[in-house]
Chains A and B, each alone.
Chain A
Amino acid sequence: MNATEAALAEKELDEAARVAHEYRLAKNKRERRARLFKHIFLIFFSFIMLYPLLWLLASSLKPENEIFGSLGLWPSTFNWSNYSEGWEALPVSFTIFYRNSTIVTVLCVLGNLFSCSFAAYAFARLEFTGKRLFFGLMMMTLMIPYHVVLIPQYVMFLKLGWVDTYLPLIVPRFLASDGFFIFLMVQFFRQIPRELDEAAQIDGCSSFKIYWAVILPLSLPALATSAIFSMIWVWEDFLAPLIYLNDIQNYTVPLALRLFIAQEGESAFGQMFAMSVLSLVPVVIFFVAFQKLIVRGIATSGMK
Chain B
Amino acid sequence: MKNTKARNASGYMFLTPWLLGFFLLAIGPILVSLYLSFTRYDMVGDPRWTGFDNYIYMFTRDRRFWKTLEVTFHYVLFAVPLRLIMALSVAMLLDKGLRTIGLYRAIFYLPSLLGASIAIAILWRQLFSIDGVVNQVLAVVGIQGVGWITNPSTSIYTLIILAIWQFGAPMLIFLAGLRGIPRDLYEAADIDGTSRFRKFYAITLPMLAPVVFFNLVLQIIEAFKIFSPAFIISNGTGGPADSLLVYTVYLFNEAFKFFRMGYASALAWVLLLIIGLFTALAFATSKYWVHYENERD
A binds B: yes
Is residue A50 within 8 Å, beta carbon to beta carbon, of the partner chain? yes
Contacting residues, chain B, for A148 (C-beta < 8 A): 33, 36, 251, 255, 261, 264-265, 268
- Asked whether any CB of chain B lies closer than 8 Å to the CB of A38, the reply is yes
Pick the contact of B33 from A139, A142, A144, A297 — CB < 8 Å? Answer: A144
The answer to whether B21 touches A236, judged by C-beta atoms less than 8 angstroms apart, is: no
In the assembled complex, A202 has its CB within 8 A of some CB on chain B = no
B268–A145 contact, CB under 8 A?
A: yes
Complex: A272 Cα to B210 Cα, angstroms: 41
A25 lies within 8 A of chain B by Cβ: no
> Is A122 a contact partner of B113 (Cβ separation < 8 A)?
no
> Of B15, B119, B271, which contacts A273 at CB under 8 A?
B119
Residues in A whose Cβ lies below 8 Å from that of B213: 187
Q: Are A71 and B132 in contact (CB under 8 A)?
A: yes
- Determine whether the beta carbon of B268 is less than 8 Å from that of A194: no
Does the CB pair A129–B115 fall under 8 Å?
no
In the complex, what residues of B have CB within 8 A of residue A138's CB? 18, 22
Q: Give the docked Cα–Cα distance between A165 and B279 (Å).
A: 36
Q: Which residues of B contact A303 (CB under 8 A)?
A: 182
Q: Which of B83-102 contact A (CB under 8 A)?
A: 93, 97-98, 102
Residue interface bits B96-121, CB-to-A below 8 A is 1, else 0: 01100010111111110111011110
Looking at the assembled complex, report how far the CB atom of B36 sits from the nearest CB atom of chain A, in whole angstroms: 7
A141 CA / B279 CA spacing, docked (Å): 13
Out of A35, A53, A141, A221, name the residue touching B30 (CB < 8 Å): A141
A98 at interface (Cβ–Cβ under 8 A)? Answer: no
Interface check B272, CB cutoff 8 A? yes
Give the contacts of B226-260 with A (CB-CB under 8 A): 227, 247-248, 251-252, 255-256
Q: Is B8 an interface position by the 8 A CB rule?
A: yes
Cα-based distance from A174 to B24 in the complex (angstroms)? 13
Q: Does A79 contact B (CB under 8 A)?
A: no
Given A50-B110, A145-B225, A287-B106: A122 and B210 interface contact (C-beta under 8 Å): no
Stretch of A86-94, A100-108, A222-230 at the chain-chain interface: A222-230
* Interface flag for A126 (CB, 8 Å): yes
Tell whether A137 pairs with B22 under 8 Å between CB atoms, given A46-B104, A122-B14: yes
B12–A183 contact, CB under 8 A? no
List which B257-296 residues lie within 8 A (CB) of chain A: 261, 264-265, 268, 271-272, 275-276, 279, 292-296
CA distance A212 to B13 in the complex (A): 14
- Whether the pair B28, A156 counts as a contact (CB closer than 8 A) is yes
Given that A152-B28, A177-B25 are contacting pairs, would A191 and B14 also be in contact in the complex, using a CB cutoff of 8 Å? no
Residue A134, interface by CB 8 Å: yes
| B21, B133, B210 pick with most chain A CB within 10 angstroms | B21
Select A296's contact among B107, B111, B133, B179, beta carbons within 8 Å: B179
Q: Is the pair A174, B17 in contact by a Cβ cutoff of 8 Å?
A: yes
A42 within 8 A of B: yes
A258 touches B176 (CB 8 A): no
Is B131 an interface residue when CB atoms closer than 8 A count as contact?
A: yes
- State how many angstroms separate the Cβ of B116 from the closest Cβ of chain A: 9
How far in angstroms is the closest Cβ of chain B from A143?
4
Interface assignment of A204: CB less than 8 Å from any CB of chain B: no
Contacts A56-B119, A129-B8, A187-B213 given: A49-B111 contact, CB under 8 Å? yes
How many residues of A sit at the interface, in one of the four size bands? 35 or more
Smallest beta-carbon distance B231→chain A, Å = 11
Chain A positions 21-80 with a Cβ under 8 Å from a chain B Cβ: 35, 38-39, 42, 45-46, 48-50, 52-53, 55-56, 59, 68, 71
User: How many residue pairs between the two chains, A and B, have CB atoms under 8 Å in the bound complex?
Assistant: 268
| A300 CB within 8 Å of chain B | yes
Give chain B's interface residue range (CB within 8 Å of chain A). 35 or more
A172 vs B181: C-alpha distance when bound (angstroms): 34
The 0/1 profile, CB within 8 Å of A marked 1, for residues 1-44 of chain B is 00010011011111111111110111111101100100000010
Interface residues of B in 117-137 (CB under 8 A from A): 117-120, 122-123, 126, 131-133, 136
How many Å lie between the Cα of A188 and that of B247 in the bound state? 32
Contact A140 B272 (CB under 8 A): yes
- The answer to whether A52 and B111 touch across the interface, beta carbons within 8 angstroms, is yes
- Asked if A294 and B252 make an inter-chain contact with CB atoms under 8 angstroms apart, the answer reads no
Say yes or no for A257: interface residue by CB 8 A criterion: yes
When the two chains form their complex, are residues A294 and B175 in contact, meaning their CB atoms are under 8 A apart?
yes
With most chain B CB atoms within 10 A of its CB, the pick from A145, A151, A175, A180 is: A145
Contacts beyond the supplied A147-B252, A156-B25, A287-B113: 15 A-B pairs with Cβ under 8 Å? A38-B97, A128-B7, A134-B19, A134-B22, A140-B30, A142-B221, A143-B225, A144-B33, A148-B265, A180-B218, A188-B180, A188-B210, A257-B118, A297-B180, A301-B183
Chain A residues within 8 Å of B, Cβ to Cβ:
35, 38-39, 42, 45-46, 48-50, 52-53, 55-56, 59, 68, 71, 114-115, 118-119, 121-123, 126-129, 131, 134, 137-145, 147-149, 151-153, 156, 171-172, 174-177, 180, 182-184, 187-188, 190-195, 206-208, 211, 221-222, 224-225, 228-229, 232, 236, 254, 257-258, 261, 269, 272-273, 276, 280, 283-284, 287-288, 291-292, 294-297, 300-301, 303-304
Q: Can you give 25 A-B contacts (C-beta < 8 A)?
A: A35-B97, A52-B120, A119-B18, A122-B12, A129-B4, A134-B15, A138-B18, A139-B279, A145-B225, A145-B227, A152-B28, A152-B32, A156-B28, A206-B10, A207-B10, A208-B13, A221-B177, A221-B179, A221-B180, A272-B119, A273-B119, A287-B109, A291-B105, A297-B179, A300-B182
